[in-house]
Structure formats: structure tokens, C-alpha cells
Chains A and B, each alone.
Chain A
């Protein structure tokens, strides 16, 4: 086949019917130090090992169709993040969870999954809010102070350029740790494609403005507790959001 014909063929794309599993997962241990791209690769390989009927994207470089709700930065644990996995046939959610778990590396775990209709809105687009937990000595005082500031200007490096940005408006509400640990806090912050704050920037603002020792801040344990849709306080966990089904154009 000539190259020109091949190119033509490859660009003819039809809509593939997808059977989507919306799954929540946790990560801890050594996998915490993976970058987001590596994390995605881990899930892809696990799904391939589990021989799940994954749907692949079309085009020049077909990729397994897996969409993560929100990137998970290096060093952040999660108790409950989400991903959508497209399959080419209907699949039992519990079986999906069980089979994938058997093949994930230590530290990554599917918590539960459910079959949803192929969504009109990408899972990424519905995330608005994240809950986090920080664990470090003196974190309660420091975060308390941070909430009382009018602004928290931090330096963000985006596309190789340094940029000053105020992250105070992105912090929503602070509370004591649910387990009562005095050296832990839990809080909500904006998250998602529109407004987002990275936990490491919050920690650096704590050492900059709130009297926290920089080394303690850097070593704080960061755990994402959940991801939500909607406007605080009326927020819904991502897997409880009602899915608007995708209607293919005739």
C-alpha cells in the first residue's frame, strides 16, 4: 500500500461505541512518586495484562481510551481519584474492579467501579473541587493562618516562565482532621480545568507567610481525599454525578 493511501485510510474515523467504566482508585507507597504520564502508563499496562476489552483511540498512534479526572502530581497520595475506561463491550463493574486490581502494581488500587453511559461531558470537565489532607507538625496553625490572609502570592512556573499568582481565593474551607489528629488538617480547594491549585504551592505559601518551617512544609504528607463536581458546599463526588449520555450525530 502506498503511503498516501495509508494516510487517507487512517484519517477516516468513525465513532466507536464505548462501554464506559467510571472507577475510583487510590494510590500510596512507591507509586506516589510517579509522574502523571507514568501513572497513566501503569493503568494501561495493568488493563492489558488483565486482558480487559479496552477501546483504543483511532488515528496514527492508537492509545487505550482512559481518561483521568485530574492529574495527580508527583508526591501526592490519593484516597479517591477517578478515571473513565472505555471498553468495546458491556462489562460487569465488580469483575472489572477485581480483574484490574489483580494486575496493578503494589500501591495502586481500584476502589470501585460502575458502568455508565458514554458521557457527553468528559470526566475532566466536571471536576470543580478537591478535598485534601496535609500531615505535618504545626500544620493546623499554619493553615489556620493561611485562611485568615487576604492574599497568598506564590511563584508558579508555567511554560518555563515564572508567574506570581494569588492562591488564597482557591482555598475554600478548612477543617480539623476527621480522625482528630492535631498535626493534620483537611480542606477543600478549587480543582479542575477552570480553577486549580497545586498542593505544593499551598505548602510553599505556608512557609512563606504563615511561619511554617520550610523543611517541615516540604516533607508534609499530602493526600487527596476526593474529587467533586458542583459548587461548594453543594458538591457531589464524581462517581455520583448524573451522567448526560453522549448522542452520536447521525
Chain B
């Protein structure tokens, strides 16, 4: 493979932190030689040149599974050449600007503006400004409307793409849902566009975008207009502050509709129906330098059966689809061999919920026997099996045990539908403490809906009872116990789109600080540490998560004032962002407030398959402190079965057949979406 020199002097490279971030040359990286030959000879290529962009530093981007999957999918096709690009850290950012060097790709060091398409993966809202940094450094007009026929098409995907409104001014295209198929369909359209340029009827950019709208799951923001108004809420809106209609207009309801006929009114997310047959990268790019998660990943299943009401991932990735053990074992074997990593992470939203988890774990451990390869098992539900497993996989170092009760009392856990019972935590901990574990991490959220001081104090109480359990076991067994280390960690509740809590208000900063102090004052013990999450970023995150297109100019101005790397607490300046927001006639409260159930939400034109009606019924159940069973126990009719696949769908189909004879009424509602609406009616 030919190596492409970095367009920087040695002293420039040597002057930055971790120069290896900027040089490429990784094992398994793909360079399509025939494309380069073509380019060299004719200055053109028929390949679609795709730059997969990660809006954060290299070490974080290279730990991202979406990047590895889509890089692999694109390069496997015979008409796309995909390369990678990352946000340069501030030191390199400065050099690129001073020396007037465009941001380039890792593989062939091509400036981003020379690609046909840029695809950003948006995993967290705080990376938005880094998208602007990369476009800017890549010499691409920041605003979609300013881009011409020769500029690359800028698209995005990932969890944040579901409410892309705050970034709608900057993206030509957003992809909703799982990208393996969609990204190739999109690339095909780009290819047609590119090839048409050398014909007598070149396609315009506008035509291209309209063509892309025909692809299911693809959202072209510029083909939609937004009105901020009372539509549908007119009669219900009370106006206690006596603000003018105009002022209220600015605050309530963002209704997004197509600008003309023939454009889809609802964009429905895409899913992969069969994960077993879907391409999975068993030859991922292996970084030469150490990165944040230095391991290979085996994705076990998508979706989550649980339905915790605060969790966006739990709803947007529905329905639950598992890979078979046979496929996983084979992929695991290949991954270990092809990467050389000494650690493999099993990835999913809740690994223990994999139906054949024991079999999978045993099988992989047998495969790795004698290889000094360890399994990393995040999001594991603790029971005797998993403890035993952890003994085996972590034979060298005993890391801490992690629990995420999320709330301090059973009442609040019922509100959020976190199906973890105290008895389960204590019985698992008893086993663990007997087995020699002495480090426990507990994760909670502050500011959850209906939270009272009693719930906050419940967190402290739980931690203290765990402390007591540890020493009780020491006394019972007469064993010499190691020093106990309990970490209580709190993050702040952020209402996210497409969850039952999407309408909820976020506690004010003052209220959150008060709650945090209350907890801190009640957690005084030499064995318990309290770690908390920064407030400022959570305050801004809610604005971006539930925002609308009025934030576009705010983000642009913020970026131009030098704000990026907002995901890095040291670089995030809330006060300055608030100032810019207010300058544009808005305030934090506009987005942190409780959204009315009647108003049109900025993301209502997007469908993740879970109906708004279901989310609403879940919200009401939360207030009644009623839980909802997991998808495995009983289908609650969220709507995701409309995809026609998944565990719940299979269950519903089977269930409908069973009950068909016994209950003649059910004959009128066969499995499928009808069944869903019936169940919703009940709830």
C-alpha cells in the first residue's frame, strides 16, 4: 500500500500532542489503488469519494463502532471509496489555520472539500460545533444553502440525527436509523449525480436532494419549512405571563412540513431486519496508537427489551433483534484473529438480556483459551452466573462491580420503569462480597420527573446499606476484608426526544445544585465517594437535544466566536452560549420547560416506529407509578412491531395464533399494527 505524506512539516507534527492522530497508516485501513490510478491519469474518478467524519478527536472516533461498520460497508462496495477524518485537537486546529492547510483524510490526505460526500456520525449533541469546525477547516461552506454544485454533499446519522433541527441549516441530508443499507442507496444517488455531470444533462444539486428524499429514512431538511405557532394548541395555551402573541409564537411548537407536493411528510427510520446476514466489520481498522477503548467489538444485538422511560436508546433502537450464537462466535473468532486486540467487548444495550448469553460467553472463552484475550462485558446484569463469568474473564484483574439503579427509591424506579429490585442488588452483592470483590460503583440520575428529597436521600441510604452489608459479611465469615470502596455517581436527567419523558421539564440549575448538596451532605463515610457530573453541559445539552431550527444561527455564531470541543468540559463555556442564545431572543427556559402534550414537537415529522401515543401513555403510567413489562414478557404495543421483525413481533405473531381459537374477538385484530393500537387503547 502506498503511503501518502502528511501535508505538514515534521516540526509542526512534532509540536502537537499525539502526532500519530494525524498520520494514518493503520492496519486494515482501505485505500482503493485503482481509484488513485484513475485520479492520477485523468484527474477524475468514477468512484464516489466518501469521507466518514467523526466530530471529535481521533482516539474517541477510532473507538466508535458506527465508524467501523459503515467504513467497512462502503469500502466493500465496488463503487465507493471511503476514508476517515477526525476533529483536529486545538493545537493542530491552530496550525492548520495558520499555515492555511485544509483538513485532510487519514488515508490519502485528501482535503475534505475534494470528496463527493461527507458523512458525520452524531453520537452526542455537544459535538455539533465540531461538525462546523471540520467543515470550516475542510474548506466547505458551513450553511447548506451556500453550497454549490462542486461542493460535497454533507450528511449525518446516529442517535442525534433523529432531532437534527438545531443543525438543519448545516446538513444537506440526515439519515434516520441503521445505515448499512441506506448509506449505499444514498451513495448510489451521489454516483448518478456525479456521472450526470459529464453528460449533456447534468443533474442539479436540488434534483439530487429531491432524488434522495425518495430513499426511505432520508430527511432533506431544506425540503421542509418550519412554522412556530400554536397550531393544535391554540385553545389550550394559557398565557400567565401576559406575553404578546409574537413572543409566544417564538416559544411554542415547531411544525416541520414539506415545502411542496411529492416530498414525504413523515420520515420513518430504517432498520436492518436480519443482523445475521448483515455485513459486520471483522477486519476493523486497528489504530497504531492507543485509543480510548482499545479493543475490538462484537455487537450482540440491537434494541433493548427494557423500556426505561428516560432512555433514548431504549426506544430509538427498537425492535429487539439478536444475532445467532453461531454467527457471533464466528465473527468473534475472526475479529480476534484479524485485529490482534487482547480484549473483546460484547456490545449491546444490556448484554445479559441476550437470550443465549451463557452459551455465547462460554463459547468465546473456549475460543480464546490460551490466547490471553479477555472479554469485556459492559452493561451486565449481576447474578450468580455473571459473577462466575466475571471471575473467569477477569482472571487477571478484579475490576469494580457496577450497578445502575438510577433512582434511590423503589417508587421513583417504578416511575422511570427501571426494573431493578433492591433484593436483586443485595443478593448479587452478597455473592460478590463473599467472592472477594470490594469495589462497587453505583450510578444514579438527579432531577428525574416527580423526584422529591426523599428520593435523593434514598440514594444515600442505599449506599450506606451496601456499606453495612459488606461489614456484616466480614463479621459473619470472620474473613479479613479488604478496604471497601463505594462510588456513588450522579448524572443529571436530560429529557430526550422519542422517550416517554420527552415532554418533561429539566430541573433548574439551582434546584439541581441543591439536590446535589443534599446528597453530598448525607453521604459522609470514609468508604463512600461521591462523583458528580458537570451541570453546565447538561443545561446546554437539553437545549440542543430538544431544540429546533432557531438554534442554527446560535450555533453558527458560537462556533465563529471560537466555541467548539463543547463535549470537553474544560472547553465548554455555558455563560457565553447563554449570552448568544439570548441575543437571538431565546432563553434556556424555552427548551428546558415542560413541553405541552398538545404542541407540535420539532421532531414530530420523524418516526422511530414507536408511536407518540405510546410514549404519552408511558408518561401517564409514570405518573401513576406503574411499570411496564419488558418486551420479552409481554408486548406493550409500542408500534415498533410494524417493522415486521424483532422478538416482540415474533411473540405477537405466535400469541395471536394461540388466542385466535379461544377468543373470537381477537380475530378482528390480527398480529401487526392493529394489535398495537388495541393494546394502546387499553393503556
Contacts and interface: CB of A to CB of B under 8 A. Distances in A.
Nearest to B15: A218
A35 B9 contact: no
Contacts of B674: none
B172 to A, nearest CB: 32
Contact of A31 (B288, B339, B391): B288
A63 B421 CA distance: 40
- Interface magnitude class on chain A: 35 or more
B436 A47 contact: no
B66 interface: no
A214 to B, nearest CB: 9
Interface in A30-75: 30-31, 33-35, 37-38, 41-42, 44-49, 51, 56, 60-62, 64, 74-75
A30 B339 CA distance: 19
B289 A35 contact: yes
Contacts of B23: 30, 33
B577 to A, nearest CB: 35
A103 interface: yes
A228 to B, nearest CB: 26
A131 B148 CA distance: 55
A158 interface: no
A56 B27 CA distance: 23
Nearest to B106: A30
Nearest to B294: A41
Contacts of B24: 30
Nearest to B27: A105
Nearest to B14: A75
A106 B340 contact: no
B20 A33 contact: yes
A218 B27 contact: no
Interface stretch (A1-9, A14-22, A160-168, A182-190): A1-9
Interface in B14-70: 14, 19-20, 22-27
Nearest to A63: B372
A38 B3 contact: no
B396 A62 contact: yes
Given A30-B288, A45-B341, A60-B396, A2 B10 contact: no
A215 interface: yes
From DSSP, what is the main secondary structure of chain B's interface residues? loop
Contacts of B435: 2-3
Contacts, number: 95
Nearest to B286: A45
B662 interface: no
B11 interface: yes
Contacts of A30: 3, 6, 20, 23-25, 288
A221 interface: yes
B47 to A, nearest CB: 21
A4 B436 contact: yes
Given A103-B27, A107-B25, A56 B20 contact: no
Nearest to A38: B289
Nearest to A1: B391
B164 interface: no
A38 B287 CA distance: 10
A60 B290 CA distance: 21
Given A34-B20, A74-B19, A49 B338 contact: yes
B342 interface: yes
Interface of A: 1-4, 6, 29-31, 33-35, 37-38, 41-42, 44-49, 51, 56, 60-62, 64, 74-75, 103-107, 215, 218-221
Given A30-B25, A34-B289, A35-B289, 19 more contacts: A2-B436, A3-B435, A3-B482, A4-B436, A30-B288, A31-B25, A31-B288, A37-B290, A38-B20, A45-B27, A48-B341, A48-B342, A49-B337, A51-B337, A105-B27, A106-B25, A219-B9, A219-B11, A220-B10
14 contacts: A3-B435, A3-B482, A29-B3, A31-B288, A33-B22, A33-B23, A34-B289, A35-B20, A38-B290, A45-B340, A49-B27, A74-B14, A74-B19, A75-B19
8 nearest A-B residue pairs (beta carbon):
A3-B436, A30-B25, A45-B340, A218-B11, A30-B23, A48-B340, A49-B340, A33-B19
